[in-house]
Amino acid sequence: ELSKWRPEVIELWEKCSVPETINKETFQKSFIRHVNTTLARSIYNVDNFSAYQATAHAVRDRLIQRWNETQQIHTERDQKRVYYLSLEFLLGRSLDNALLNLGLKDSFGEGVKELGFKMEDILDQEVDAALGNGGLGRLAACYMDSLATLCYPAWGYGVRYTYGIFQQKIVDGYQDEFPDYWLNFDNPWELPRVDIVVDVQFGGHVNKITEGDKVRHEWIGGETVQAVAYDVPIPGYGVKNCINIRLWNSKPRRKFDFGKFNAGEYDQAVQEQMKAEFLTAVLYPNDNHMVGKELRLKQQYFWVAASLHDIVRRFKKSQRDWNEFPDQVAIQLNDTHPALAIVELQRILVDEERLDWDAAWDIVTHTFAFTNHTVLPEAMEKWPVPMISQLLPRHIQIIFDLNLFFLQRVEKFAPGDRDFLARLSIIEESTPQYVRMAHLAIVGSHRVNGVAKLHSKLIKETIFKDFVKYYGPDKFENKTNGITPRRWLHQANPKLSELITETLGHKDWLKDLTLLKKLEESVHDKEFRRRWMAVKHSNKVRLAEYIRDVVDVDVNPNALFDVQVKRIHEYKRQFMNILGVIHRYNTIKSMSPEQMRDVVPRVVIFGGKAAPGYYIAKLVIKLINSVASVVNKDSTIQDLLKVIFIPDYNVSVAEIIIPASDISQHISTAGTEASGTSNMKFVLNCGLILGTVDGANIEIHEEIGDDNIFMFGHLAEQVDDLRYAHRYRDVPMDPHLDAVIKDIESGSFGEARIFAPLINTLTFGKDYYLISDDFGSYLDAQKLVDEAYKKEKDWVKKSILCTANMGQFSSDRAIKEYAESIWGIIPVKV
Ligand code: 8GP
């Protein structure tokens, strides 16, 4: 394609495209140029925020160069690519991460200092990109970091929400939600691609056209919304590769309804335009819970259609045969949200590319793979058939056809077993009928995976049991989640990172986390232990300052910091934690001054958002704050206990909290937390954990050993029987729990009637999450924590061994496993 240019032109381009050397001086030039031109400011009015913008733009210039080179080489090599489709990418802040991954932190830091700024102040100006709810969205972000670092040819596809996850404020102890208008001031981390626009169709009808002995379908009419691409560059660590997340934004088609306009209905014509923009306005704020809003379904199709159009266009450029599609393209479905992509690809191949049905289906099923992230029934996506029919009339036909052919095969496998057929069917035969998205995702994929060993076993034994019978076990795999050590240690905990690098004598551990194992040799080194402790202490001081700033409570950095930060959900049992806190409070209150001297002072820290419609979860927040306001004021307990609820927990708040924890709690009812990823972050940052036998806790336990973790509670295989007992028998309540409940009911923490619905979940609600069954062993485990913390030397050793044995939980390991056993892709290094 260069042939259209004269050689002199090409030469000039090459001469002018030589990348600038990057050092302090060139950075400063670039900084000032951006202040002057991009921001139209000058030395007279440059504040911290404009300094942030200028620095971000200077970094962005370098990112774009790398991004271009990466795209160019990936196009040239034309290797198989993976496309990661995720409705959530919880990226957090980008500046610090980009500086570290590009190796520019020191030189740029010096550079801004000489210009009269502090790097910390500049970094603090950035707002989080919070396009996700919790673990699922943050996992996608960690995976993009690893894909870039390992040089895989990969793209992410998502939605550019105008409003990310809501901001949480605490008013009178209750959660209040405020819109997160994160794009308020320009976003330097995205590149608007006004040239990349895809038409997405909704509604209309389908014509059946017979041509000779062939039938084809034509989907026409309805409304069209345009998808505009915004590209977010993701730099790898210590490599030149920089990959792309393409986020789609909806906008109306340029064509304006002049008919209506001329008829005097100007406002209505404008309203229709605005409706199109509204499509990508807001992220649905539910974690592990499905809410069947039509707009959400529209978002899903909008994003899937635009992404597939893009993927197919890229494939067609190489002019290969369609059979080669699965050799060039792997598509990973992050949960069932993008499951319509399966139907859309089949539609493109059959209706537009005129492939025959079976050939098309063969391509589809070799292209897709599907990750499940939960077994909770309320999270399983299903959409009413009438809703899909209205929005996507051709897709619903395809879904019914796919289901018919699928069930015909199942019928051959299990002749006459109608129940089996009904259980496997993509369609739930209720009134109205529903499309079960997980079934669609399984039938349309060549691999299905869970996200931790126990979870992957449970999906095979419970929700997908019948599919295992039909397909055999090999279609189902485990890919234990991972986290990126770049953000979650190097960036969030710079002092620990430095100490590790100095001790090991290299930085290679950031790309091969198993190298941390060598830290084990230093546990007997007294000076090393002292420094290890000093790092933890300074991180606790940093968190204590943050707590003073946001909730105006003083906490003692020498106390044991006990943390539970994650979405508020009944299955995660923050309720059990706060009930335990009340027990602790009452125990301390009943002590003599003598006895008190033996108590380990504790700061119990909570953080997390509740879905705005989740009443019980919101009451848990209220209870935590009510307990906090009583306990924190009570001078009779001599600062032995403080309770803190940190508002608006998000990625950048997590970066302050996680490095400061002594113990963190991951205490879901066994079998309910698919994996958890914050458990990995805490242990990597040398915090011990108190956990149930659930999710990735189990594998962390295997790696770090019995002595360095506190595990308690019933096992997943006991849960059914325990629930049965609550349902049909009179199970006596744990006496300590009973006392705590009576205390709440007596009004010790404010009006008792407020908390009645919460307490009812334990009684009338049959204690579905088994708090009373685990409460005794929970309190016992907490006692062991206190005892262990008193033995300082042993505690530090445990802490070191935690970090040293986390090699397995890098997202690099996880991504390599996906690449090798599911996607079949190889690295292409720039
Ligand atoms: C979460 C799981 O709850 C968490 O254990 C896991 O670490 C994380 O995914 C990443 O794998 N699951 C979800 O957020 C989830 O299933 N969300 C809804 C779409 C169902």
Q: What are the residue ranges spanned by the domains of the chain?
A: 82-92+129-380+437-480, 544-809
Q: How confident is the prediction for the chain on average, in pLDDT?
A: 96
Q: Is 490 a catalytic residue?
A: no
Q: Name beta bridge partners: 249.
A: 228
What one-character DSSP code corresponds to residue 402? Answer: H
> Cα–Cα distance between 485 and 146 in angstroms, integer?
10
What one-character DSSP code corresponds to residue 486? Answer: I
Task: Tell me the per-residue pLDDT of 58-103, one tens digit each, with 9 for 90 and over.
Answer: 999 999 999 999 999 999 999 999 999 999 999 999 999 999 999 9
> Is beta strand 329-334 parallel, antiparallel or unpaired with respect to 205-211?
unpaired
371 lines ligand 1 (CB under 6 A): no
Q: Is 354 exposed, middle or buried (0-12, 13-18, 19+ CB in 10 A)?
A: exposed
Cα distances (Å, whole numbers) of residue 742 to 553, 585, 756, 770, 776: 28, 14, 11, 18, 17
**pLDDT range class, residue 537, cuts 50, 70, 90:** very high
- CA atoms within a 13 Å half-sphere pointing along the CA-CB vector of 360: 18
pLDDT surpassing 70 at residue 556:
yes
pLDDT surpassing 70 at residue 413:
yes
Q: Is 6 a catalytic residue?
A: no
Give, using CA atoms, the residue closest to atom 14 of ligand 1: 136
Q: Which one from 80, 160, 373, 490 is the annotated catalytic residue?
A: 373
Gap from CA of 187 to ligand 1 centroid (Å): 28
Gap from CA of 374 to ligand 1 centroid (Å): 6
Query: Measured from the CA of 371, which atom of ligand 1 is nearest?
Result: 11
DSSP count for the chain of H helices, then E strands: 34, 24
Gap from CA of 136 to ligand 1 centroid (Å): 5
> Cα–Cα distance between 783 and 495 in angstroms, integer?
31
Average pLDDT value for residue range 399-413: 98
Contact between residue 85 and residue 332 where contact means Cβ atoms under 8 Å apart: yes
Ligand 1 pocket mutation pick from 288, 300, 448, 682 by most atoms within 8 angstroms of CB? 288
What one-character DSSP code corresponds to residue 821? Answer: I
> Cα–Cα distance between 784 and 184 in angstroms, integer?
49
Closest CA to 60 of 33, 84, 89: 33
451 lines ligand 1 (CB under 6 A): yes
If one counts every other C-beta atom within 10 angstroms of the C-beta of residue 768, the result is 15
Ligand 1 pocket mutation pick from 139, 374, 451 by most atoms within 8 angstroms of CB? 374
Query: Measured from the CA of 481, which atom of ligand 1 is nearest?
Result: 11
Task: Tell me the per-residue pLDDT of 669-683, one tens digit each, with 9 for 90 and over.
Answer: 999 999 999 999 999
Q: Which one from 60, 105, 529, 566 is the annotated catalytic residue?
A: 566
Gap from CA of 695 to ligand 1 centroid (Å): 11
Give, using CA atoms, the residue closest to atom 18 of ligand 1: 288
Q: Which one from 80, 394, 486, 567 is the annotated catalytic residue?
A: 567
Which ranges in 590-733 belong to alpha helices (H)? Answer: 593-596, 615-631, 651-657, 678-684, 697-704, 719-728
Q: Which one from 280, 367, 672, 677 is the annotated catalytic residue?
A: 677
Task: Identify the pLDDT of residue 757.
Answer: 98
673 lines ligand 1 (CB under 6 A): yes
Cα distances (Å, whole numbers) of residue 202 to 221, 222, 388, 511: 8, 6, 10, 45
Task: Identify the pLDDT of residue 49.
Answer: 97
788 lines ligand 1 (CB under 6 A): no
**pLDDT range class, residue 269, cuts 50, 70, 90:** confident
Query: Measured from the CA of 677, which atom of ligand 1 is nearest?
Result: 7
Pick the CATH number of 82-92+129-380+437-480 from 3.40.50.2000, 3.20.20.70, 3.30.2320.50, 3.30.720.200: 3.40.50.2000
> Cα–Cα distance between 602 and 639 in angstroms, integer?
8
HEC secondary structure over 188-244 = CCCEEEEEEEEEEEECCEEEEEEECCEEEEEEECCEEEEEEEEEEEEECCCCCCEEE
Residue that is written with structure tokens 């605490």 in the block: 170
Task: Tell me the per-residue pLDDT of 740-791, one tens digit each, with 9 for 90 and over.
Answer: 999 999 999 999 999 999 999 999 889 999 999 999 999 999 999 999 999 9
Query: Measured from the CA of 674, which atom of ligand 1 is nearest?
Result: 5
Cα dihedral 685/689/694/697 (nearest 10): 40
User: Which tokens is 633 given?
Assistant: 């004021």
Q: Name beta bridge partners: 369.
A: 332, 447
Gap from CA of 358 to ligand 1 centroid (Å): 34
484 lines ligand 1 (CB under 6 A): no
Closest CA to 298 of 440, 181, 425, 395: 395
pLDDT surpassing 80 at residue 541:
yes
> Is beta strand 427-428 parallel, antiparallel or unpaired with respect to 434-436?
antiparallel
Q: Is 431 a catalytic residue?
A: no
Task: Identify the pLDDT of residue 255.
Answer: 67
**pLDDT range class, residue 705, cuts 50, 70, 90:** very high
Cα dihedral 10/14/15/17 (nearest 10): 130
Task: Tell me the per-residue pLDDT of 491-515, one tens digit each, with 9 for 90 and over.
Answer: 999 999 999 999 999 999 999 999 9
**Chain-centre distance of CA 91, in angstroms?**
8
In CATH, 544-809 is 3.10.450.50: no
Which ranges in 590-669 belong to alpha helices (H)? Answer: 593-596, 615-631, 651-657
pLDDT surpassing 70 at residue 165:
yes
814 lines ligand 1 (CB under 6 A): no
What one-character DSSP code corresponds to residue 483? Answer: B
Gap from CA of 675 to ligand 1 centroid (Å): 8
- CA atoms within a 13 Å half-sphere pointing along the CA-CB vector of 206: 17
Task: Identify the pLDDT of residue 133.
Answer: 98
> Cα–Cα distance between 658 and 600 in angstroms, integer?
21
Task: Identify the pLDDT of residue 546.
Answer: 98
> Cα–Cα distance between 520 and 503 in angstroms, integer?
11
Task: Identify the pLDDT of residue 289.
Answer: 92
Query: Measured from the CA of 138, which atom of ligand 1 is nearest?
Result: 10
Task: Tell me the per-residue pLDDT of 188-234, one tens digit each, with 9 for 90 and over.
Answer: 999 999 999 999 999 999 999 999 999 999 999 999 999 999 999 99
Q: Which one from 572, 584, 609, 726 is the annotated catalytic residue?
A: 572
300 lines ligand 1 (CB under 6 A): no
Ligand 1 pocket mutation pick from 139, 373, 666 by most atoms within 8 angstroms of CB? 373
What one-character DSSP code corresponds to residue 707? Answer: G
Gap from CA of 287 to ligand 1 centroid (Å): 7
Q: Name beta bridge partners: 450.
A: 478
3-state helix, strand, coil in the chain (%, to 5): 55, 15, 30
Orientation angle between helical segments 697-704 and 453-461, nearest 10 degrees: 140
Task: Identify the pLDDT of residue 59.
Answer: 96
> Cα–Cα distance between 208 and 123 in angstroms, integer?
58
Q: Is 501 a catalytic residue?
A: no
Closest CA to 318 of 306, 308, 328, 307: 328
135 lines ligand 1 (CB under 6 A): yes
Q: Provide the strand spans (E) within 578-651.
A: 602-607, 641-646
Q: Which one from 74, 80, 347, 681 is the annotated catalytic residue?
A: 681
Task: Identify the pLDDT of residue 20.
Answer: 77
Cα distances (Å, whole numbers) of residue 773 to 251, 389, 767: 52, 46, 9
**pLDDT range class, residue 436, cuts 50, 70, 90:** very high
336 lines ligand 1 (CB under 6 A): no
pLDDT surpassing 80 at residue 305:
yes
Gap from CA of 296 to ligand 1 centroid (Å): 18
What one-character DSSP code corresponds to residue 40? Answer: -
Q: Is 357 exposed, middle or buried (0-12, 13-18, 19+ CB in 10 A)?
A: middle
Query: Measured from the CA of 695, which atom of ligand 1 is nearest?
Result: 5
If one counts every other C-beta atom within 10 angstroms of the C-beta of residue 743, the result is 17
**pLDDT range class, residue 264, cuts 50, 70, 90:** confident
pLDDT surpassing 80 at residue 272:
no
Q: Name beta bridge partners: 226.
A: 199, 251
User: Which tokens is 262 given?
Assistant: 């001329």
685 lines ligand 1 (CB under 6 A): no
Gap from CA of 380 to ligand 1 centroid (Å): 11
Contact between residue 523 and residue 805 where contact means Cβ atoms under 8 Å apart: no
Cα distances (Å, whole numbers) of residue 822 to 152, 362, 445, 447, 469: 14, 16, 11, 7, 21
142 lines ligand 1 (CB under 6 A): no
Give, using CA atoms, the residue closest to atom 9 of ligand 1: 136
Query: Measured from the CA of 673, which atom of ligand 1 is nearest?
Result: 5
Residue that is written with structure tokens 């109205």 in the block: 432
Query: Measured from the CA of 372, which atom of ligand 1 is nearest?
Result: 16
What one-character DSSP code corresponds to residue 555? Answer: -
Residues 6+ apart with CB under 8 A from 747: none
676 lines ligand 1 (CB under 6 A): yes
Contact between residue 706 and residue 788 where contact means Cβ atoms under 8 Å apart: no
Average pLDDT value for residue range 526-539: 98
Gap from CA of 241 to ligand 1 centroid (Å): 29
Contact between residue 367 and residue 333 where contact means Cβ atoms under 8 Å apart: no
If one counts every other C-beta atom within 10 angstroms of the C-beta of residue 6, the result is 8
**pLDDT range class, residue 152, cuts 50, 70, 90:** very high
Task: Tell me the per-residue pLDDT of 242-257, one tens digit each, with 9 for 90 and over.
Answer: 999 999 999 988 666 6
Average pLDDT value for residue range 557-574: 98
801 lines ligand 1 (CB under 6 A): no
> Cα–Cα distance between 527 and 693 in angstroms, integer?
35
Q: Is 169 a catalytic residue?
A: no
677 lines ligand 1 (CB under 6 A): yes
Task: Identify the pLDDT of residue 809.
Answer: 98
Query: Measured from the CA of 335, which atom of ligand 1 is nearest?
Result: 19
User: Which tokens is 373 given?
Assistant: 């992230």
Q: Is 465 a catalytic residue?
A: no
Burial 664-676 (b: 16+ CB within 10 A, else e): bbbbbbbbbbbbb
What letter represents residue 164's amino acid?
Answer: G
